[in-house]
Amino acid sequence: MKFDFSNTRIFLRPGTTNMRISRERIIHVISDIMKQDPFSGAVFMFCNGQRKHLKLVWWDTSGFWIAQKVLEKGQWPWPDTAEDAKEIKIDEVIMLLKGIDFFCAYEPMSFDSID
C-alpha cells in the first residue's frame, strides 16, 4: 500500500517520546501537549531518545494508522527544542527519512524588491 502525504499537514514532536506508550497516550500527546487535533488527518511524527525509532501516526476517517521504522545503524536527525509541535513539509520528511539533517540547514534568502 502506498500513501500520498503531498497535501497533508505533517507535525513532528521535538525531543524524545517513549515509543512504548499506548495509542490513547499518543492521542493525549497530540491533543494536549502538541495542541493539535489527532482526528484532523495530519501526520504526527515521534522519535525515541536514542534516535533509532521513528513513529508516524495519522487518522484516516475509520481509524488510526501507526507506522514505525527502526534504524539498524546510525540515528535520525531530530530537534531537541521544546517546541510543542513543529510543522514540516513533505520535502523535509523525505530529507529526514534519507538521514539529511535539514534542522541545521540554512534558509536561502529571497527578496521581492530591493530598496
Residue found under cell 513532528: 12
**What pLDDT score does 27 carry?**
93
At residue 13, the 3 state secondary structure works out as: coil
Low-confidence ranges of the chain (pLDDT < 70): 1, 82-84, 105-109, 115
DSSP secondary structure, 64-108, as one string? EEEEEEE-SSS---------S-EEE-HHHHHHHHTT--GGGPPPP
**What pLDDT score does 108 carry?**
64
| pTM greater than the 0.85 cutoff | no
Task: List Cβ neighbours of 14 (8 Å cut-off, separation of 6 or more).
Answer: 78, 79, 80, 81, 82, 83, 86
**What percent of the chain is predicted at pLDDT more than 90?**
44
